[in-house]
Amino acid sequence: MDPDDALCYRLAKDLDEAFPALVEAHAGRLYTIAHRTLGVPSDAEEVAQDALVRAHAALGTYDADRIRALRLKPWLATIAVNLARNRRRRATDRRPPTSLEPLVVAGLEPRIPSAAGPLEMAERRDARRRLADELLRLPPAMREAIVLRHVDGLSVAETALALGRPEGTVKAQVHRGLAQLRLHLAPDFLDPTTSVKELTA
Amino acid sequence: MTTSQHARSAATPAADEEALVRALAGLSLTAPATVAAGALVRTGLADAWAELPSPLGPIAVAWNGRGISWIDRADDPESFAERFAARVGRPLARASGMPERLARSVAARLAGGRRVRIPLDLRGRTPFEVAVWMKALEIPRGEVRPYGWIAAEIGHPRAVRAVGTALAHNPVPLVVPCHRVVRSDGSIGQYSLGGPAAKRTILASEGLDPDELEVAARSGRRFLGSATTKIVCLPTCHNARRIAAPHRRPFGSLGAALAAGYRACRECRPASGALAAA
């Protein structure tokens, strides 16, 4: 049995008893989704916490059958994405993308395995930061699709469900998003005049 | 694209789609501990606590998303946590401070504001207990009522002892002012938050003289009428305290006052107290 299905059964039986397990299992991915779509750690923290609180409130209004039938991962992702979107819209002052260095210091960015040499570690850390920064430069809809599909690891179907978009749309957004990331991350190796279509053909 | 470009693209991890997908998967983060802890407190599945000043000195106040859940002495955090665990049982963690709105309303209530709405988390308590506490909330600052008054007001005139027990179990003393409930013989009675001495301190901080209260009740001055309005009150009722000295008429029983042509005050409803005292 999928751990989330087991969790849904427990939630249906006794919401308050099982909810801490949901928090334990999903707080990290909700924070990741919020952080990778917003780029501001404090905002991501609030969005992730708000998403869990909303989820608890919503589950409180669902009957047991509906809770058992829930697909927890995309369902929670929807809540986080919507809250992150609201926050982005509210932020009228367009803050510049944040550097991730403080996160590494705070121990929130996963550490590069220490088996790697110092130079390699620095390179990989730098690569992560550049990737995260490039992700934040993608158009929001494309960024959401990439974050859910490839950072959070949802399937195309789950991503489509979570974002309320047709699967074809999600596929296209992920495809174009990856192409743009490749284009921006490797400017030295690609001819800037080569179109995205050619690149990914 | 030329062959050489292909070769170079493939050799560059960031430019390689598979490597890119792997790198994206590596962008997962660990949530700061505050995410889970905050969510559990906000959903009422755990509680946070902080110290607040009070007329009795620093007190420990616990809360969650549903409201204030526990107030206790702050002198010993460890035994506070033990008592909380025994009576409430939810996970408890110390917070650096209280949410600003909640802190403001608790401070306003401790300062005597009656219209302050403070959410309370009284889950797991009996309807009788909750009725007792809600009734105690109606007693204005600087006034007291007998245990029997509460019993009569909530429709259980004979349950005076049960009212005393419920007040002793008040999880949120000071906010629910159980200190404003005294024995009908005028003695101050017990107090959960530090005993009778603390009860005297807090009543005195609200402008009452506990000694005077006891003396008055013992010498049979349990009700106070106004010779001009012909209204009889419980002695600490704000209406009674306004009566000018020459017009004050003490009574030992409500019956005596009614016989003398007085009517009961509609605000302090002395009949409720008299009923149970009888």
A187 pLDDT above the threshold of 70:
no
pLDDT digits (tens, 9 = 90+) for A22-70: 999 999 999 999 999 999 999 999 999 999 999 999 999 999 999 999 9
Nearest-by-CA chain B residue for A36:
B27
Percent of chain A with pLDDT over 90: 67
ipTM for the complex shown: 0.81
Distance between CA atoms of residues B231 and A25, nearest Å: 65
Residue B176 above 50 pLDDT? yes
User: Please, what is the angle between helix A156-163 and helix A167-185, to 10°?
Assistant: 100
User: Distance between CA atoms of A125 and A185, rounded to whole angstroms?
Assistant: 14
CB B170 within 8 A of CB B178: yes
Q: Does the pLDDT of residue A121 top 80, yes or no?
A: no
Q: Which of A116-120, B68-72, B254-258 shows the lowest per-residue confidence on average (mean pLDDT)? A: A116-120
Q: Among 3.20.20.70, 1.10.10.10, 1.20.1250.20, 3.40.50.300, what is the CATH number of B127-277? A: 1.10.10.10
Residue range B248-274: average pLDDT? 90
Residue B61 Rama label (left phi>0; alpha psi -120 to 50; beta): beta
pLDDT for A110 equals: 61
| Mean pLDDT in residue range A164-178 | 97
pLDDT digits (tens, 9 = 90+) for B179-203: 999 987 777 888 888 888 899 999 9
CA–CA separation, A96 and A56 (whole Å): 33
Distance CA B103, CA A120 (A): 50
Which positions 41-100 of B are in contact with A (Cβ < 8 Å)?
A: 42-45, 65
- pLDDT at position A82: 96
For B35-110, give the CATH class.
alpha beta
Q: Is A182 exposed, middle or buried (CB count within 10 Å of its CB: 0-12, 13-18, 19+)?
A: buried
Residue predicted with more confidence, B194 or B263: B263
- In this structure, the number of other CB atoms found within 10 A of the CB of residue B153 comes to 22
Nearest in space to B180 (alpha carbons), one of B223, B150, B221 = B150
pLDDT given at position A94: 52
> Burial code of B212-242, b = ≥16 C-beta within 10 A, e = fewer?
ebbebbeeebbbbbbeeeebbbbbbbebbee
Residues forming beta bridges with residue B73, ordered by sequence position: B59
Dihedral angle sign, alpha carbons of residues B28, B33, B38, B41: positive
Q: How confident is residue B111, by pLDDT bands cut at 50, 70 and 90? A: confident
Closest partner CB to B15 (pick from A107, A110, A186): A186
pLDDT at A26: 97
Q: How far is CA A139 from CA A74, A99, A106, B95, in A?
A: 21, 19, 28, 39
What DSSP designation does A116 have? S
- Please tell me the distance from the alpha carbon of residue B203 to that of residue B185, in angstroms, as a whole number: 17
CATH topology assigned to domain A114-201:
Arc Repressor Mutant, subunit A (1.10.10)
Q: How far is CA B270 from CA A28, B36, B176, B183, B264, in A?
A: 59, 51, 21, 14, 6
| Percent of chain B clearing pLDDT 70 (strictly above) | 92
Locus of tokens 């042509």: B261
Mean pLDDT of all residues in B59-80? 90
pLDDT digits (tens, 9 = 90+) for B206-218: 999 988 888 888 8
Confidence grade of residue A2 (pLDDT, cut at 50, 70, 90): confident
Contact (Cβ atoms closer than 8 angstroms) between residue A30 and residue B32: no
Q: Is the pLDDT of residue B46 over 70?
A: yes
Q: Once rounded to an integer, what is the mean pLDDT over residues B221-226? A: 91
For residue B275, name the pLDDT band (cuts at 50, 70, 90).
Answer: low
Segment B132-157 mean pLDDT: 94
- Residue B143 above 90 pLDDT? yes
Q: Which of B3, B24, B40 to mutate to test the interface with A (most CBs of A within 10 A)?
A: B24
Closest residue on chain A to B46 (Cα): A20
CATH of the structural domain A1-90, one choice from 3.30.70.360, 1.10.1740.10, 1.10.510.10, 3.50.30.50: 1.10.1740.10
**Residues in B touching A108 (Cβ below 8 Å):** 29-30, 32
Is B237 annotated as catalytic? no
Contacts of A107 in chain B (CB under 8 A): 30
Q: How far apart are CA B45 and CA A16, in angstroms?
A: 7
pLDDT at B277 over 90: no
Instruction: Provide CB contacts within 8 A for B251, sequence distance 6+.
Output: B221, B222, B223, B224, B225, B232, B257, B260, B262
Q: Please determine, for residue B37, whether its predicted confidence score (pLDDT) is greater than 80.
A: yes
Domain ranges of chain B: 35-110, 127-277
- Written as one letter, the residue type at B251 is F
Instruction: List pLDDT tens digits, range A65-104.
Output: 999 999 999 999 999 999 999 998 876 445 544 555 455 5
Q: Are B25 and B19 in contact (CB under 8 A)?
A: no
Task: Tell me which of B125 and A189 has the higher pLDDT.
Answer: B125
Give the closest-approach CA distance of B5 to chain A in angstroms. Answer: 7
Residue type, A4: D
- Please, what sign has the CA dihedral across residues B127, B130, B132, B134? negative
Chain region(s) in chain A for CATH 1.10.1740.10 = 1-90
